[in-house]
Amino acid sequence: MDIMKVVEQATDAATVKRVFGEPVRQGDVVVIPVARVAQGGGGGEGRGKGEKGEEGRGGGIGVGFGATPAGVFVLKDGEVSWRPAVDVNRIVIGGQIVLIVVALTLRSILKKRRRGR
């Protein structure tokens, strides 16, 4: 397997079309969807002896892609506005983290007060 060929394919897959979707028209309004796109890859090879003492070698490569909605550009009456996508899961997790920090802080304060008596 040619590593350079895989790298070229990965680069071709990360085009602008992956970030900006096809515009959608509804009357005089145009909406352009936008996504956050991430890609990564890696590879390696190794040599060693098997259980029976025979010499062996192996290798592999991998490439991954991920995309999440970022929002949309809205074009209306010659004006462009940005409407971010709301990630409810991120909001909920952030709220939970804040509650845990507050609970641990209150617990620490109450423990110090009890010791002070």
pLDDT tens-digit readout, 17-51:
677 788 999 999 999 998 888 777 788 888 888 77
Q: Which residue has the tokens 């990360």?
A: 14
> Within this chain, do residues 7 and 28 fall inside the same structural domain, yes or no?
yes
| Alpha-carbon span 94 to 88, nearest angstrom | 10
> Within this chain, do residues 110 and 80 fall inside the same structural domain, yes or no?
no
> Within this chain, do residues 69 and 96 fall inside the same structural domain, yes or no?
no
Query: Bridge partners of 36?
Result: 68
Range of the domain at 99: 86-117
Question: How crowded is residue 101: how many other Cβ atoms within 10 Å of its Cβ?
Answer: 10
- How much is the average pLDDT of 10-22? 68
- How distant, in Å, are the alpha carbons of 24, 50, 57, 58 from that of 47? 53, 10, 4, 7
- How distant, in Å, are the alpha carbons of 71, 73, 74, 84, 114 from that of 28? 19, 14, 11, 21, 67
